[in-house]
Amino acid sequence: MTAAPTPPRSVTVRAPAKVNLELRVGALRPDGYHDLATVFQAVSLYDEVSVARWDEWQVVPGGTYADRVPTGTGNLAIRAAKLISEQWDIDDVLSIHIDKDIPVAGGMAGGSADAAAALLACDHLWGLGLERDELAELAAELGSDVPFPLAGGNAMGSGRGEQLAPVLARGTFHWVFAISDTGLSTPEVYRELDRLRSADGGDARDPAHSADVSSELMAALRRGDAQALGKALHNDLDEAAFSLRPELRVLRDAGVEFGALGGLVSGSGPTVAFLTESHEASLDLSVSLAASDLCRDIRRARGPVHGAHVVSGSRPD
């Protein structure tokens, strides 16, 4: 007879950041969300989330952006772990260590990546063996952007962004991200878009605000054509983010002038994402942006990369 496997003492999961290659925002819905059509790409900036049994719920931040991680009960990783423990009636209390390398409140789904990582880590810690679609359903309860870091790669998002469909793509793309010191609040940026749309007598709830992604972008991805993808990048939230932070427009224009194939606000910002031709071009652009003094924190990454995955699960000695 074989002994039952010993449960791991702690589990570490790595989850990627995202950039929206295209983000089309439709009408404001009665539930306060907007219909979206978006294309996500997972990029090689990662958070690592470790969960271990403990005597009180706690978040322990580490890594590049440790000082900006919220440690209270509103932290999405804790909410993710509690969601699983409540649904499966598990009494364990966890310590959650977050090694934070994805900018906080930057429009790169850093909090969502932590929630996705915590779901997968708890699934392993507690030996639940959840299917990917069960995890995706839990993820959607936590936030519109949480299902994508579980999936990774390239995907089209619809609904409020949480309904995913795979997207055919070829090749690797090279990105430069210009990161701001102070984050932007996602609801605030959507509210600003509604305000801009309502100015001049418009209506943010008008169904004419259609949410469809462009065939040019899909074709560029299928061909692995960075030049064409650079031209097709589009974010309806750009203008709202520029309205709240005019310096972001200056930054975007400077990056394009320095040779980026295209630039846009990442998600709801304030990170500005630039697509470049090659790894070398991304190095050159980073140097130019740093010298311009428009931005101090510059990160490079490639995409697409895989979604959340277990990197270690230590078992009792």
Residues binding ligand C5P: what is the number (CB under 6 A)? Answer: 12
Among 127, 171, 187, 224, binds ligand C5P (CB under 6 A): 187
Q: Is 202 in the site for ligand C5P (CB under 6 A)?
A: no
SS3 state at 34: strand
Tokens 């309205």 correspond to 243
Asked if the peptide bond before residue 70 counts as cis, ω within 30 degrees of 0, the response is no
Q: What share of the chain is helix, strand, coil (3-state, %, to 5)?
A: 35, 30, 35
18 is catalytic: yes
Q: Is 230 in the site for ligand C5P (CB under 6 A)?
A: no
Tokens 């439709």 correspond to 26
Show the site string, 30-69: x = touches ligand C5P by CB under 6 A, - = not: --xxx-x---------------------------------
Which residue's CB is nearer to ligand C5P, number 115 or number 260? 115
Q: Judged by CB under 6 A, which stretch of 94-102, 138-146, 167-175, 303-311 contacts ligand C5P?
A: 138-146
Q: How far does CA 186 lie from the centroid of its chain? A: 12
Q: Is 145 in the site for ligand C5P (CB under 6 A)?
A: yes
Q: How far is CA 210 from CA 26, 37, 196, in A?
A: 5, 9, 16
Which residue's CB is nearer to ligand C5P, number 110 or number 230? 110
CA-based radius of gyration for the chain: 20
* Residue of 241, 287, 232, 282 whose CA lies nearest to 262: 232
Q: Is 180 in the site for ligand C5P (CB under 6 A)?
A: no
In the complex, the smallest distance separating the C-beta of residue 236 from ligand C5P, rounded to whole angstroms, is: 11
Catalytic annotation, residues: 18, 145
Q: Which spans of this chain sit near ligand C5P (rule: CB under 6 A)?
A: 32-34, 36, 143-145, 160-161, 186-187, 190
